[in-house]
Every structure is written in C-alpha cells, then in structure tokens.
Structure 1
Amino acid sequence: MKPSPITATVDFDADGVQHGFLRLPYSRDDAAWGSVMIPVTVVRNGPGPTALLTGANHGDEYEGPIALFDLARTLRPDDIEGRVIILPAMNHPAFLAGTRTSPIDRGNLNRSFPGRPDGSVTEKIADYFQRVLLPLADVVLDFHSGGRTLDFLPFCAAHIQPDKAQEARAFALVRAFGAPFSIRMLEIDTAGLYDTAAEAMGKTFVTTELGGGGTASARTTAIARRGCRNLLIAAGILKAAADPQPTRWLDMPDGDCFTFSEDGGLIEFLADLGDPVEAGQPIARIYPTGRTGADPVTLNVRRTGLLSGRHFPGLVKPGDCVAIVAVDIAG
C-alpha cells in the first residue's frame, strides 16, 4: 500500500511536550501548494501505556475539543507515566466549518475507516489514524456529542464485544470516566467507524455523547474535563487522585431503542430527555407544514426505558432518528 501523504511535525517517540501538526498536502484555489494542518500534542514520559485522545471526529461537537485543547496546554511530562497523544479536532476541516462532515469532500470521518492514502482528504485522514496513530495506542477516548441535529443525556459508553476481556477493560474505563450516565452502546451504523477500527486492533475504546445542539454547556464541558482525567488515571497514565462520580448504567440492547420518522414536518416532543417512557407511548407529533387544518402524525416508542436522545432541530425529515430509549441496568 502507498505511504500516507500526511507527515507529523512531532516525534511520537520523544520524551517531553511537543505541539505540532499533522500536515496533509491539499491543493486548492487559494493555495496551489496548500495543506490541511491538524493540531496535535504529544506528551511522553518514558515507558508506559499510550492514550490517544480525540475530539471533533464530527466538526459540530464541542465538549471534546474544549477539554482537549485545555489538556494540551496544561499537561506536563512529570504528570504522567507513558504517553498521551491529543488531537482536539481530528476532522479539522469540519471543525473549522462547524459541520458534521468535511466541507472539502463532504466526507464523514467516522464512516471513512480504514481510509485510503490515495483517496479523498477525509479518507487520507482516516488512513493515517488507521495505520499510524491507532497502532501506537493502548487506550482510545473519542469524544462525541449530538452536534447540531441531536441532543443526548450526557453519557460515556463502550460497546458489547466478542472479546470479553477487551469489553471488560472498556467498561472499567467507562465507569472511571464518571459521566452522569454510562451506556452499553448499540451502534445502528457500524460501517467505517473509528470505533470499529480501534476495537478490531484490540484497543480499549471508549466514547461519549455529552449533549448536543451544536454547542457545549458549562456542565457538559466540566463532565468532559473531569472524565478525561479520571480515565487517564484509571489507565495508569496520569499520576493524580481521581474524582469519582456516581453514574447510572443504561443499555441499548436492540433496534427497538430507536424511533425514526417516516414523515417530514414540524416536530412536537411529548417527553423530555431523562423522562421515563413506556413501550407504545406517544413520543412526538409531526405537523405537516404545507397546509393548515391537517392532523399531525404521532410517533410511538417501541421500548420501555429512559428517553436518552432526541432529534434537536424543530423540523424533521423522513428517515430522521427522532428518539433513542435506553434501559436501566445494574452497573
């Protein structure tokens, strides 16, 4: 396979603190020999495990970037044993545009793995993570929130996996993170995921959904900062006292957790995030917007549990995910 066109201005094996870039050549109208410059920080202090910390896999999600830009400026080698690689905005073009996908090629980085060294800009970024960064890591924390189109209860999550030892390591770090909610997560679209790429390599992978609406609150940002530190401590990297927090464990066992719209229009929710719901309960009404006097379409949830995620904008399109219900479990 061709080598990656991305070059790093940092040495991943050197001790100390380095702030630099992943530089990807990108010829465009305003810079014939231009580059995409993805900020990266490496903090290393001798042998030990490596944590790969990423935010803005989708560019309109902000708790992770805030926590990681802050960590990058404050973390010192004496604070750790091992190595921490920090990329606050792994899909930097999307992050600068405030969009889920890249404005360059409309690529969704979290659906582009394993990537291609000779593909689109987004595929080249995925390829570099696949072949260079993920092999360096023992633990991967990828921050997400709902972006502009979804809103979630703030949770940390890991996936059910065939390798139960790998699964147990991931859920131990989820517990250590200490988000208000912890979820045994079901993905409805796994093709090309960063998660899947990391787990296939045997990495301990943890993710989050910390809010949404294309913004970050003081509360959700604090959860991200504290959780990241707690995870690094539990992973044996950060030398500090943990700040354990209570968490409520939820499960997403099957496709009945998701409610999709078959109609477009103005959405009225009949329950709020965190509310208990019963299977068959109406969760939303969708009003047609082309005329007055028409009855709304009612959507019902298919599972009893807790409303854990919801569509955020006031208008909905056919096929949009409207509601996510998770089930209480013993932690």
Structure 2
Amino acid sequence: MSDLLPPSPVTPTVDLDGGGAQHGYLRLPYSRDDSAWGSVMIPIAVIGDGDGPTALLTGGNHGDEYEGPIALFELARELDPAAVRGRVIILPAMNYPAFRAGTRTSPIDRGNLNRSFPGSPTGTVTGKIADFVTRHLVPRADIVLDFHSGGRTLDFLPYAAAHELDDKEQERRSFEAVAAFAAPYAMRMREIDAVGMFDTTVEAMGKVFVTTELGGGGTASATTAAIARRGARNVLKHAGILAGDPEGAPGRFLAMPSPDCFAFAENAGLVAFARDLGEPVARGEVIARIHPVDRTGAAPAEIRAALDGVLAARHFPGLVQQGDCLFVIATTAS
C-alpha cells in the first residue's frame, strides 16, 4: 500500500545509506506567516559503515520528555564510526516542533506524534513526520529504541519495556533487548490504546522494539539521564553494532497485564498520594485521595488499588482534572 502513496515531502540532507559520521537534517517544508517558504529542520545523525545491522534510536516523540534527547544528542556527537559495525540512525528529537516548545504535542498542529503513525505524506506536519519515519527509517532498521518518560504530567519508575506480541519469537527478541538495556526495572506491557503508536507500527513491520519510561515531571535527573546513556549503548552492544557486553544487570521484571493496572480520576481537585513510586500496594488499599478545592469541609474521593503490585507511575502535578490518569500499578512478571 505504501507504493500507492505520494512521495514524502521530507528531504534528508544526509545519505541514509551512507558511511562515516553524518550530521544533518530532515527538511520538511512548512509555509507559515513568518516564513512563506520555511521548513521544519529535524536533526538527524547517520553513523557507521552499513556492513552489519542497523539501529534506529529516537527521542522526543513527545516534546516534554528529555532523557532520550540528552542521551541521543550526546551519543550522536561521541560515536566513532570506526567503532560501529553496521549503522546507527539517530533522531534525538523526532517531534522537533514539540521538543523546541517543551510540549507533549506539536505547537504547529497539536499533533501527538505517538498517536499519528503510520502518518501521511499529505497530512499535517506531524503526520508527515510520522510518514517519513514509517516509510524511510523503520524499514532500514533491525532494532528500534524509542525513549520516553512521563513528561510534565506523569512520573514513572525508570524502566525499559516491550510488548506482548502475537509473534512470540519477535516478542522474545524484544525482551532480550529490554534486559540488555539494564534499566532498574523492565516492563512487560499491554497498551490501553495502541492505535497510531510508533510502537505498533514498528512491531507490525516485524522489528525488535524497545521503549522506556524514565522518570517524568517535565525534566530529567542525573540518575535518569545516566540510565538513558548507558541503555542506548547497551542496546547497540546487544545488537552487535558496538563491541563488548552490555553493562549492568537486567532490571526487576514487572508487568502491566490488564486495564486494572490503570486508575483514572473521576473528580477534579488536589491529589494526595498514600504511596510513593516503587512501594508495594495491596488490592483495595487507598492509593490516592482527591480533595475538592472549591470549598472546605468536603470529604476527598478515595481511589483504591484494583490489584496487588507496586506503584509504577503516578500523576505528577498536584492538581488533577476529571479523566486524568492518576496512577499505574504493575505486577510481578511471571
């Protein structure tokens, strides 16, 4: 079906199949009030000789998540092409307009890139970015690592993750890469809404796919940035693209096996948590209370755990709106 689509309007300024260390842009025309023939210039690096596997490393899928961009801008600068067997394609800030604005979605079209795949060459700016990545980058890759964290509204235990897949061999290879990443935790995931995700598109193409959630709150700590740096190199070592063995031990495996893992706010107000990230929780236990803020004297709403596990994620700002994800409970993986 991709052969029936119009060509992508994106023009790389690097040779995607070339050698050495190339640093350039994906240039996407974007006509706007202050630049009639303007462009969105998305930084990209292509490093290596192509004689071996190819890894696609992406960050900034959401623009307010920073561990990936920190690790990948540094990696692009530091990688010696002579040390690379194969090729590494690096997009440190895939949704570049959102990254520059520090927002989850694009300020141009409000597009959530991670709900826009496989994209369209005739769509919005966000859709055109998704289309180029889908048709021109993912097919070149043997393994894909897409960095995420909680952004401004969630905070996570630092984990690398892969998904349960129908293709069990692909699933096995993906979880081997998760273990090699060596984050403090490793997650077996089922998404509550996988439509339009980069993950779904990559996995449908049969690729090994690893993602992360590394903290949150719209910033990056020294600890989570270090996890991202080491994890990126570990995945490249695991793939045989860099020499050596991955550093560190595989993290503790957890799972998100069902929708019961997710709790959502039915009331707006001020949230107070009864447990911190990583702490054990029991089914029926109060995990959060939402206090009304429009008057005193009203009792808070109590939100309880639907299953036993550990607190893996929580809403970050103190004020919540109706429908916000409040927390996520993960179980011990079997």
TM over 0.5: yes
Q: Corresponding residue for 2:299?
A: 295
Q: What residue identity is the alignment partner of 1:108?
A: N
Amino acid at match of 2:267: D
| 1:277 to 2:281 alignment | yes
Distance 2:116 2:141 in 1: 19
Matched, 1:176 2:180: yes
Q: Displacement of 1:244 after TM fit? A: 2.4
SS in 1 for 2:31: coil
> CA offset at residue 111 of structure 1?
0.1
The one-letter code sitting in structure 1 at the alignment partner of 2:87 is R
| Deviation for aligned residue 1:155 | 0.1
Structure 1: gaps spanning 5 or more residues: none
| C-alpha distance in structure 2 between counterparts of 1:135 and 1:14, whole Å | 16
Counterpart-to-counterpart distance in 2, 1:128 and 1:316: 36
Q: Which runs of 5+ in 2 are unaligned?
A: none
Aligned to 1:122: 126
Q: Residue 267 of structure 2 corresponds to which residue in structure 1?
A: 263
Query: Does the 8 Å contact 1:249/1:329 carry over to 2?
Result: yes
Aligned residues of 1:79 and 1:240 also touching (Cα < 8 A) = no
Corresponding residue for 2:207?
203
Cα shift at 1:46: 3.6
1:13: how far off? 1.3
1:51 aligned residue (40, 47, 55): 55
| 1:194 aligned residue | 198
- Rounded to whole Å, the distance in 2 between the matches of 1:61 and 1:35 is 23
Matched, 1:323 2:334: no
Question: Do 1:266 and 1:286's aligned partners in 2 also have CA atoms closer than 8 Å?
Answer: yes
Q: Tell me by how many angstroms 1:241 deviates.
A: 4.1
1:85 is matched with which residue?
A: 89
Instruction: Report the CA distance between 1:240 and its aligned residue.
Output: 3.2
CA distances 1:17-56 after superposition (whole Å, capped 9, x unpaired): 1000000000111111100000000002241110000000
* Aligned pairs for 1:109-258 within 5 A: 109-258=113-262
SS at match of 2:206: coil
Query: In the alignment, residue 115 of structure 1 is paired with which amino acid?
Result: G
Q: Secondary structure at the match of 1:206?
A: strand
CA shift, 1:114, in A, is: 1.0
Which whole-Å deviations, capped at 9, do the CAs of 1:229-276 have from their partners, x for residues lacking one? 111000111123431224100011101101111000010111100110
Matched, 1:104 2:136: no
SS at match of 1:262: coil
Letter of the 1:315 counterpart: L
Q: Secondary structure at the match of 2:40?
A: strand
SS in 2 for 1:167: helix
Q: Give the match for residue 286 of structure 1.
A: 290
Give me the identity figure in percent.
65
Return the alpha-carbon distance in structure 2 between the equivalents of residues 315 and 21 of structure 1. Answer: 39
Kindly report structure 1 stretches of 4+ aligned residues shifted beyond 6 Å. none
| Alignment deviations for residues 178-232 of structure 1 (CA, whole Å, 9 cap, x no partner) | 0000000121110100000000000100000000000000000000000111110
The answer for the alignment partner of 2:44 in structure 1 is: 40
Structure 2 SS opposite 1:93: helix
The letter of the residue matching 2:253 is W
Tell me by how many angstroms 1:289 deviates.
1.1
**Which residue number in structure 2 is paired with residue 94 of structure 1?**
98
> Which of 71-80 and 142-151 deviates more?
71-80
Residues 98-148 of structure 1: per-residue CA shift (max 9 Å, x gap): 000000000000000111101100000000011111111110000000000
SS at match of 2:220: coil
Q: Distance in 2 between matches of 1:221 and 1:184?
A: 22
What number of residue pairs does the alignment pair up?
Answer: 330
- The correspondence for 1:306, drawn from 307, 310, 314, is 310
Residues 188 and 333 of structure 2 are in contact (CA less than 8 Å); yes or no, is this contact kept in structure 1? no
> In 2, Cα distance between the equivalents of 1:112 and 1:311?
24
